[in-house]
Structure 1
Amino acid sequence: MKFIDEARIEVIAGDGGNGSASMRREKFVPFGGPDGGDGGRGGTVYAIADRNINTLIDYRYARKHIARNGENGRGADCYGKGGDDIVLRMPVGTIITDMESGELIADLTEHGQQVTVAEGGQGGLGNLHFKSSTNRAPRQKTDGKPGQRRMIRLELKVLADVGLLGMPNAGKSTFIASVSNAKPKIADYPFTTLAPNLGVVRVGPSQSFVIADIPGLIEGAAEGAGLGHQFLRHLQRTGLLLHLVDLAPFDEAIDPVAEAKAIVNELTKYDEALYDKPRWLVLNKLDMLDDDSRAKRVADFVKRFKWKGPMFEISALTGQGCEGLIYAIYDHLAKHGAAGRAAEAEELAADPRFREGVAGAAASADEMPRASNDARAQPPDEE
């Protein structure tokens, strides 16, 4: 299914039905009095978060959602039937915004959360409500109120604890496939990932977190190069960013330091808040280097990149170093209170669309490597 994370739709609530002005007329009842019923209320448009949906594709093509109007009131105290409500099911993580006013209507962050998007109109009153001791044959009635009408913008930001950053072919998809239950497309050419992937990483029977992989960035993404900044919004809810760097590129003309600095620059251009998130450096593909060249490349990279934050050396393909990294991530999330999605991760893992994945569950807690206390990455100095 195609991944769609933005949509614009129109929602129209139903109008309330009009009240009725009727008089009771029956044989042997010469003074029956007023018996006009009220109009029914208009249907309301609701939005509900559903964890079984992971894209907004349903709203890319169905652009208008209209609830039914309420029926008019009738005589003999007959009230009009209320209009049927409409429930729009959306992925968890959807932000709903009024396009005209810019008002944030709702942020659907929990499964089953329901909000009113467009309120149905109230039904009008029949003349039954206007009778009194001085007005025994009222002819007054009121019309129903119109339903709310809105143009709204839907924006999906996936819920994840950890986000992956890096150039295309840095090994992000291989890493998330190695440590979680995600099964992304992996190939030896750039931009194999065209949509965000979520994976549940288990570090114990009841300990887990969610990791998100987005398409790679390239220099000039702010100007629309590659896939641009289209998917960076999916990292805004994360508590930690992993910056993956290919330390053994196939093309020797490629400078890993220059590529890493380009990613940091693009992050700054997109959102300062995202740039300020804790960020760890992960040097990948070290299985392609022997021990001597590996140590030299790592030392040269750190020196030129002027990195002072937490750093890990891994091979996503062979799994070397991945176990220690995921335990350090879980420790960091638990320490900073960012592991609140563990229960939700369990629910995701129970979803039949996700396969069970165990990442290093056999390791003991005493053997867990600990991350540095200063998890916030220091920005590299420009040369």
Structure 2
Amino acid sequence: MKLMFYDRAKIYVKGGDGGSGCVAFRREKYVPEGGPSGGDGGRGGSIIFVGDSGLNTLVDFRYHSHYKGNRGEHGQGKDMTGRSGEDRTLRVPVGTVIYNADTMELVADVVEHGQKVVVARGGRGGRGNARFATPNNKVPTAYEKGEPGQERWLRLELKLLADVGLAGFPNAGKSTVISRVSAAKPKIADYPFTTLVPNLGVVRVREGESFVMADIPGLIEGAHTGLGLGHEFLRHLERTRLIIHVLDMSGSEGRDPLEDFRIINRELRLYNEKLARRPQLVAANKMDLPDAAKNLDAFKDAFSGSYEIFPISAVTGEGLDRLVYRVAEMLPAIPREVLHQAEEEKTFRFENRDRFEIIREDGMFVVTGQEIERHVAMTDMENEDAVTRLQQIMSLMGLDKALRQAGAKEGDEVKIGNLVFDFSD
């Protein structure tokens, strides 16, 4: 059975919730008034992506799109902390770009084998009542529930990591070229769009020297707008350091090699200006067919001052060695472009950041903010001490004052996360 190629996927990830803290008291024979001994909950497991150079498709995410981390264990008596949930590791192909599906903000770019990216962090464990003992309250019953794990929808896009990309019209001979210079075995036939998925092949030049070549499915005029297989595969050229433009120099099927060359380069430029600036070699293919020599002379008259041209026949193998050795000679001088940096490497600065935001929706005051929402989520609303502590936190954060300034009156509804309550002035 042939493995299907998928280069896009949308998945839901959720880190494991933290375990709740414990309410317990020492009950020892000779300690009549033992203090609190409730332990903390364990941290929830995170969802982690790991780059794997052995994968070249996102097919696994096609059939399984929801991933949840393991919950941390609850705390126990005798100050025993709950066990943390195990992280869940998911393998993705090297070359996978991860976006927040709702905002399309970049999360990470997986460009190395073994690279790890945390895409949904597990929630921290709640504190047990032993943490809330004070000189004025030696027997606290307050505790924290576990923090909910981070959750979000992600969009995954695979952009193949290859040193060299083969570009050109359908039936120009790209698949035959890669099959002759590498161990790749693409489907080859004499009709357009034989290649429906990108093919990767390792081209071995000499001992210890090789490069990766990608056969990109045939492009057509209008590909940059999505026509044909346009957007499906143009993205795979973005990572290549060098482009080999394969032309049917024989002009079979009534095509004009010069016009084909201009059209494909225009599509590359319109899709991404950087692609048009990539170093480019011209593989003048099908030189074993009639009219190829005449068309090659015309092509050289038009472009020989701007591009290196290599007459080849992918069918007979003529000229391929010279092309391969020239590529191997050029690649060391072409730097790898770092497209994105992983999330962990970014540095963010927040100055005077508000701890919460208040908006008015349908007559209700809605309070949002990571810190305040976390406090609410970790509070047991049926525990009187815990609720009292939450009220104190809200007051210290200035929420009561801010609600009054926003126009809240006695009895108005206020919502924070899943909690809805009446405002009391």
What range describes the TM-score normalised by the shorter chain of this pair?
0.7 to 0.9
Residue 226 of structure 1 corresponds to which residue in structure 2?
228
Alpha-carbon distance in structure 1 between the residues aligned to 2:330 and 2:51: 29
Any residues of structure 2 matched to 1:22-33 within 5 Å, and which?
22-33=24-35
Aligned ranges 1:115-154 → 2 under 5 Å: 115-154=117-156
1:327 maps to 325
- C-alpha distance 224-109 of structure 1, shift in aligned 2 (>3 A): closer
**Native 8 Å contact 1:161 1:339 kept in 2:** no
**Contact 1:333-1:339 within 8 A present in 2 as well:** no
CA distance in 1: counterparts of 2:223 and 2:334, whole angstroms: 31
**Offset at 1:200?**
0.7
2:95 to 75, 84, 93: 93
- Is residue 279 of structure 1 aligned with residue 277 of structure 2? no
In structure 2, what is the equivalent of residue 163 of structure 1? 165
1:310-358, Cα deviation, whole Å (9 max, x unpaired): 1111111111111011111111112334599xxxxxxxxxxxxxxxxxx
Kept in 2: contact 1:257–1:305 (CA 8 A): no
> Is contact 2:239–2:337 with CA below 8 Å preserved after alignment?
no
Matches within 5 A, 1:1-383: 1-251=3-253, 253-289=254-290, 293-304=291-302, 308-337=306-335
| 3-state SS of 2:259 partner | helix
Give, in whole Å, the separation in 2 of the partners of 1:248 and 1:166. 14
Corresponding position of 1:355: none
The 3-state SS of whatever aligns with 2:217 is coil
Partner letter of residue 29 of structure 1? Answer: V
> What is the Cα deviation at residue 276 of structure 1?
1.3
2:97 is paired with a residue whose SS is strand
- Post-superposition offset of 1:74: 2.4
155-164 or 19-28: bigger deviation: 19-28
Runs of 4+ in 1 over 6 A off after TM superposition: none
Unaligned 5+ runs, structure 1? 341-383
Counterpart residue type for residue 171 of structure 1? G
SS at match of 1:211: strand
Q: Is the alpha carbon distance of 1:237 and 1:223 closer, same or farther for their aligned partners in structure 2, counting shifts above 3 Å? A: closer
User: C-alpha distance in 1, partners of 2:159/2:255?
Assistant: 32
Q: Name the CA distance, whole Å, in 2 between partners of 1:124 and 1:339.
A: 44
The alpha carbon displacement at 1:133 in A equals 4.7
**Paired residue type of 2:279:** P
SS of alignment partner, residue 230 of structure 2: coil
Q: Which amino acid aligns with 1:258?
A: E
- 1:36 Cα shift? 0.5
Question: Larger Cα Rg: Structure 1 or Structure 2?
Answer: 2
Q: Which residue of 1 aligns with 2:403?
A: none
Q: Distance in 2 between matches of 1:191 and 1:80?
A: 57
What is the RMSD computed on CA atoms of the aligned residues?
A: 2.0
Larger RCO of the pair (alpha carbons < 8 Å, separation 6+) = 1
CA separation in 1, counterparts of 2:305 and 2:155? 39
Asked if the contact 1:162/1:211 (under 8 Å) is kept, the reply is yes
Identity %: 51
Give the secondary-structure state (helix, strand or coil) at the position aligned to 1:296.
helix
The residue identity in structure 2 corresponding to 1:108 is V
The answer for unaligned runs of 5 or more in structure 2 is 339-425
**Could you tell which deviates more after superposition, 298-307 or 224-233?**
298-307
Q: Which amino acid in the other structure matches residue 261 of structure 1?
A: R
Distance between the aligned counterparts of 2:296 and 2:305, measured in 1?
A: 11
CA contact (8 A) 1:217 1:229 kept: no
Whether contact under 8 Å (2:251, 2:292) holds in the other structure is no
What TM-score, normalized by structure 1, do the two folds share? 0.83
